[in-house]
Structure 1
Amino acid sequence: MAADEGSFVESFRVFLELSDKRRIGADKSSLSVLGVGSGGGELDIQMLSLLQSTLPAVPITADIMEGSSKLTDNFKVIAVQCTFDWHTLNSEDYAKQVIAKGDVKKFDFIFRYEKGLFAVLKVLYYVDDLERTIKFYHSLLKPNGRLICSCKKGGWDTLWKAYEKELHDGPVTHFYSSAEVVACLKNLGLKYEQHTFFPSCDITECFNPSSGTGKQLLYFMTSQEDFYQSFTPEIRAGMLDLLRNKCSTEKDGRVFFNDGFSCILVDP
């Protein structure tokens, strides 16, 4: 699924190229970035490096919010170039902390894209109130800042809507499609730009029950660590049939998953 990350970074690069650099860093002595649900930081580092290369004379401070202490430690190992502040908290606890302090820190960029399903600030898949969560992070933007969201389309929509009950009985409690996120932004009266990408991923190994790679891919796409133990034979068969025939295309005997997503840039 590395193509996902590459496409997202590429979309951010295009955004920086097409934006007026003087507007992005207008009269700023520094830039502040908030990474939400940053995991091990592999993608955040790419995004921050790209931002720094665009504005080499402007120091960047990155606040990193990640609920896993293990992943935060992994991120710290590769953290370079920028100044980092670490918040080992989930989204709701971070929001409570910010509100309790009263002195709210504002950011020029707020972004999160996590490979695979967990996108749209990642944490949106763990919250009940989509509108409230987006509204909170949007409130942290500085003037001329940007909230950058990525949400799944294509095969992800098809799979997670068809098996909503089964797949939500796990760590991911909600699947919000790009259409739902856009509807939320419209309801909040927020201006945005939407860019859609349609990369693909070879998931042929998913249909080989003895393939370790296939099992990892199925874990990745369903958020169930053991696909074959988590579902009944009937549910497994239905999911695999859906993945092959409704979520993918076949070429030269290989099965390519429609790994589409939208990158949404929200204005302040």
Structure 2
Amino acid sequence: MAAEAKKQSSYEGSEVQSFQFYLQHSGEHAAVIRFLLEYLPEKFRRIAADKSNLAVLGVGSGGGELDVQMLSLLQSICPTLSVTTDVVEGSTELVANFKALVEKTGNLEKIPFTWHVMLSEDYRKQVKNVKKYDFIHMIQMIYYVDNLTETVKFYHSCLNKNGSLMIIVEKAGDGWDLLWRTFSKELCNEGVPAYRSSSDVLASLKTLGLQYEEHSIPNIFDITECFDPNSETGQRLLGFMTATDDFAQSFTPQIRADILNLLRSKCSTEKEGKIYFNSCLSCIFVHA
């Protein structure tokens, strides 16, 4: 989500806590996992056809929660194949979390991991003789890159024959997109110079002439407490959603009121007295 790009740096300390707090309340990872379990088996079978080993690259993998799920699924779909994994992640704290998670997941002990503790931008510019990969995933990380088209072009060039580049990003026209495009002047800053959603990714793919397919990942989460100024949960959610340390202190009373009004009237659905934020994602598979 856009809030992940608060700075052109990686999550550390309180930022990790804020992100994990959001994940606990949004159900985003659960929604992504449901989608991946449905769509990835067919993709993995196609990618693995006539191969004896597979190389996977995760870009902006965070704490590895989704990577572990995908690698476990890949092993179950292609049990005889040798799998290697490279990880590009700039946060030392999240990399440590990822490594600890791998140690707890016994079925991954045979997969060798190579860790690149750096931002995607640095990896793209600094790493020479990048090897080819069969599956590359970039989940909720395009907000970090300087040049979206050049980034997509680079990682697409890293694909092996029949490989796939999977990009997951906020869906154009949904809650996040409406919020950040409506208040781009107030929310975008040095860390987020311009908001991006699936429409920006598709524009880059069309510019590059690449073939792709797009799927929606439905998700909603309860933001009812965001409208209670005395709710710590609500204020923490608002802080993450607007990429601020303190929502109440970061905007004028009028801007705060306008943001809350937009969240309620256009970004959410009300049901049985609850307000649910429309947090649909888009998954884009780019073909080699």
What TM-score do the two structures reach when normalised by structure 1?
0.90
Which of 197, 204, 215 pairs up with 1:177? 197
Which of 119, 131, 144 pairs up with 1:105? 131
Which of 29, 35, 59 pairs up with 2:52? 29
Which of 129, 136, 146 pairs up with 2:164? 146
Q: How does 1:210-221 map to 2 (within 5 A)?
A: 210-221=230-241
Q: State the one-letter code of the partner of 2:255.
A: I
> Contact 2:41–2:74 (CA<8 Å) still a contact in 1?
no
Which of 101, 119, 123 pairs up with 1:78? 101
The aligned length equals 256
For residue 215 of structure 1, report the CA deviation from its aligned partner.
Answer: 1.9
Moved more, 164-173 or 211-220: 164-173
Q: How does 1:1-268 map to 2 (within 5 A)?
A: 1=23, 2-19=26-43, 21=45, 23-79=46-102, 80=105, 81=108, 82-98=111-127, 101=128, 103-113=129-139, 119=140, 122=141, 124-153=142-171, 154-169=174-189, 171-268=191-288
Q: CA separation in 1, counterparts of 2:119 and 2:41? A: 33
For residue 56 of structure 1, report the CA deviation from its aligned partner.
Answer: 1.5
For residue 32 of structure 1, report the CA deviation from its aligned partner.
Answer: 1.0
For residue 170 of structure 1, report the CA deviation from its aligned partner.
Answer: 5.6
Q: CA separation in 2, counterparts of 1:219 and 1:58? A: 44
Structure 1's unaligned 5+ residue stretches are 114-118
Q: CA separation in 2, counterparts of 1:46 and 1:193? A: 22
Decide whether aligned partners of structure 1 residues 75 and 18 sit closer, same or farther in structure 2, where only a CA change above 3 A counts: closer
Q: What secondary structure does 2:36 align onto?
A: helix
For residue 137 of structure 1, report the CA deviation from its aligned partner.
Answer: 1.0
Higher relative contact order (CA 8 A, sep 6+): 2
Structure 1 residue aligned with 2:10: none
Decide whether aligned partners of structure 1 residues 173 and 40 sit closer, same or farther in structure 2, where only a CA change above 3 A counts: farther
What TM-score do the two structures reach when normalised by structure 2?
0.84
* CA-based RMSD: 1.7
- Could you give the per-residue CA deviations for residues 178-224 of structure 1, whole angstroms, max 9, x where no partner exists? 12211211111100010113321111011111212112211221221
Q: CA separation in 1, counterparts of 2:43 and 2:95? A: 31
For residue 26 of structure 1, report the CA deviation from its aligned partner.
Answer: 2.3
- Could you give the per-residue CA deviations for residues 147-194 of structure 1, whole angstroms, max 9, x where no partner exists? 001121200110000011111126333321212211211111100010
> Contact 1:38–1:66 (CA<8 Å) still a contact in 2?
yes
Structure 1 residue aligned with 2:5: none
- Could you give the per-residue CA deviations for residues 98-153 of structure 1, whole angstroms, max 9, x where no partner exists? 2xx2x22111111132xxxxx2xx0x212232111110111111111110011212
Q: CA separation in 1, counterparts of 2:221 and 2:84? A: 34
For residue 40 of structure 1, report the CA deviation from its aligned partner.
Answer: 1.2
For residue 30 of structure 1, report the CA deviation from its aligned partner.
Answer: 1.8
Q: CA separation in 2, counterparts of 1:20 and 1:244? A: 40
Decide whether aligned partners of structure 1 residues 39 and 20 sit closer, same or farther in structure 2, where only a CA change above 3 A counts: closer
Decide whether aligned partners of structure 1 residues 20 and 86 sit closer, same or farther in structure 2, where only a CA change above 3 A counts: closer
> Contact 1:155–1:257 (CA<8 Å) still a contact in 2?
yes
Q: What secondary structure does 1:209 align onto?
A: coil
> Contact 1:171–1:223 (CA<8 Å) still a contact in 2?
no
> Contact 2:47–2:164 (CA<8 Å) still a contact in 1?
no
